[in-house]
Structure 1
Amino acid sequence: MKRDRVETMIPGRDPIELVAYYEEFRDYYPYCELETKRWFVEHVRADWWIFDIGANVGYYTVLFSQLAPAGRVLAFEPTATAEMLRKNLRHNRVGNAEVHEVALAATTGEREDRIFRLWGTEGEVRTYPFYALDDFIAKHGIERVDCLKIDVDSFDFEVLRGAERTLAERNPVVVVELNHALGLRNQGVGEALAWLARRGYRQALVLDNDNFVLQRVANGASGGRADSGGAADLKLVFPPPLRFDEAMRPSAGEPLAGSFIVKAEVQEGVVVARREGGSTLISRAMGLLRREGGLGFRDIVDVVLETRAVAWSYALVLGLAPDTASGVVTVEVGVEVVDGKLGIALAGADLSSFCAPERTLAAMPLSQRIVVAARSADLRHLVFRNAAPDGVRTRFKVVSIAARLGT
């Protein structure tokens, strides 16, 4: 992949390539919101009309256009990011999406407000054209609304309130981000969820910590109409952890020899449980191997290692020698996480300096595979560490590692 582009991974599908993006989010895009993307891949129908409210640079817009080729995508992005959005739509040859440079809120009209292109920045304060979604749909004569995806830092509840008639009459699936950003408007996650529950949206699937997937419960007591007063029960549902089964593409380059991994270092305090049973401290279990020249990759394959009960403590470090200062090294790692959560990352000479975003894998039966890549000039180590909270140990074993060198 060219340096001036980034890919965002889509579970079960080819990644989406972005040619316009924010450099400070380069490490965020590749593996962002994988649970949410997986939900869309598994549930969007080919003829859906989807409203991408807060489209940003457009990776969801591109995904929706691919998943619903017989449908339509309406992307809303009121800030200067809209130009990046259009570039990415052109690059991905999207033909069934339209971009609207308007903001959605609870009411319609022009007003001065602060809208964030990037969360954590000051935002852009100027006069924006605002629409209530109900008014926008009526003005444009839109007859079909299958899904609302809402991610508009701090405006999310406002957008829902402006779509009250649409929710009642069209019964769309709602996928909305609700988090601390609502506090900027003196609102809260519980308040927004309670509002939705009173309108029949009484079950929420929670993805990627703060994305909520809601659909009106069939044959609900309110019959699809709003219950303006009182409390309403809301059931939160959490999905099973995401299983990774990625594979290197042949286009990643030429295979690297086994000598690519020059050494293996099990870190202090790690416990090893060999396949024949029994656990001992690593200083006793592998002391002889260290004295005889250190550990090689074969010494640690299929050996279950148990980390310290310290969050982000390092368990295993593999020294790498790409044998070239140019090109991109792509590494496919097969690993079984028995308990806890495992972090895997490519690092430079400084183990705390990662060359690519860290991947985290939850415990589940059988092995998983991930693919990571970094520039050869930066790459020196492959690290495995405890991604579980303090007080929790992670047990894992490395099953396989393969690498390719490309341009």
Structure 2
Amino acid sequence: MASLRVLGHAFRAWRRNLRWAKHEPETPYLADLLSGAPVCLHVGASDGRHTYVMTQVAPDATIHAFEPSAFTFQVLRTCMAWHGIARQVTPVHAAVADKPGELLLVTPKKMSGRMGRAYAFVAEQAPEGAARPDLQDKGADLQPTPVVTLDDYCAQNGIGRVDFIRMDIEGAELRALEGAKGILDRDRPHVLIEIHPTMLQARFGGSAEAVVELFRSRGYRMFALDGGRLEERDSVVPDLPWKDYFFIHPARAARLPDGVFKARMAA
């Protein structure tokens, strides 16, 4: 049975979804990318806000939602059940990286004393000093979490096609993408990914440039919102701790519905 804390967090997420509140500005663009019956991977699903949006803009979608936090995973499952979309969503209690196994989930404790669950990240060992270079904290909670690669997960579960990937994993994006190269090469899925330059460098030995190059070397084109306008880019926006970017492959352009992405890809 879910704890009162889980139920409280799930209720807030469920209510926000019903009110279509506190969604990120990229959310309205998902409808252009999820036509038909797409197979979607939601990596870093948290309480499932993007998972919920996917089910609303694509009622025939199949979604695999990966969440490493034991607490938040319970929130995710509860919230999806309340929305009545559990048949579309397969929740997976795991982090995603470049090799399977186990890592630590590091959840910073905010200066207020509350858990910074939105800032949690995976690590091989407990960080020394501040949990994150971009956040003041009062220490961190450490929790072992299972780890999968997206390529292995799809192979083991008979997923022969992936159409869309949403990824928000606080700096681990390059490692997760390294474990998804088979999917990227095979399916050319649309991708919406939050890139964290500071965390990539400080905690994962990577870079935002390496993430962008992984896509561009495969022929993907990169887009980001500038105010309310979708603009094509060849690099991340400088001096931002994080930002969402769309990556669209020309091989899928002809199948896009009429809309802003199809227009941009035709330019």
Report the TM-score, using the length of structure 2 for normalisation: 0.67
Aligned to 2:132: none
Instruction: Give the letter for the 2:178 counterpart.
Output: R
Q: Is the 8 A contact 2:97 2:149 kept in 1?
A: yes
- Whether the aligned pair in 1 keeps the contact of 2:23 and 2:49 (CA below 8 Å) is no
Are the aligned partners of 1:106 and 1:162 in contact in 2 as well (CA < 8 Å)? yes
Match of 1:30 among 8, 21, 24: 21
Q: Is the 8 A contact 2:99 2:147 kept in 1?
A: yes
Where in structure 1 do 4 or more consecutive aligned residues deviate above 3 Å?
A: 3-9, 29-32, 111-116, 120-124
Instruction: Provide the residue aligned with 2:181 in structure 1.
Output: 164
Q: How far apart, in 2, do the equivalents of 1:115 and 1:173 lie? A: 29
Q: 1:70 aligns with which of 60, 77, 102?
A: 60
2:47 is the counterpart of 1:57: yes
Please say if 1:84 is aligned against 2:59: no
Say if 1:55 and 1:76, in contact at 8 Å, map to a contact too.
yes
The answer on whether the counterparts of 2:43 and 2:66 sit within 8 Å (CA) in structure 1 is yes
Larger Rg over CA atoms: 1
Looking at structure 2, the residues matched to 32 and 199 of structure 1 have their Cα atoms a distance apart, in angstroms, of: 30
Secondary structure (helix, strand or coil) at the match of 1:17 reads helix
TM-score by length of 1: 0.45
From 127, 142, 148, give the equivalent of 2:144: 127
How far 1:8 sits from its partner (Å)?
Answer: 8.8
- 1:173-322 to structure 2, matched below 5 A, reads 173-179=190-196, 180-183=198-201, 184-201=203-220, 203-207=221-225, 210-218=243-251
Distance 1:30 1:71, change over 3 A: closer
Match of 1:45 in 2: 35
Q: 1:109 — aligned with what? A: 101
Supply the AA of the counterpart residue of 1:178.
I
Change (3 A) 1:148 1:85: same
Does the C-alpha gap of structure 1 residues 32 and 182 become closer, same or farther in structure 2, counting only changes over 3 Å? Answer: farther
CA shift in 2, pair 1:6/1:127, >3 Å: closer
Measure how far apart 1:156 and its partner are. 1.2
CA contact (8 A) 1:46 1:67 kept: no
- Between 1 and 2, higher relative CO (CA 8 Å, sep ≥ 6) is seen in 2
Task: Specify which of 161, 186, 210 is matched with residue 144 of structure 1.
Answer: 161
> Which protein has the bigger strand share?
1
Give 1:126 shift.
3.2
Give the C-alpha shift of residue 6 in structure 1.
4.5
Unaligned runs of 5+ in 2: 1-7, 109-116, 120-134, 227-236, 238-242, 253-260
Question: Which structure is higher in helix share?
Answer: 2
Per-residue CA shift, 1:116-151, capped at 9, x if unaligned?
Answer: 732156554333211111111111111121001000
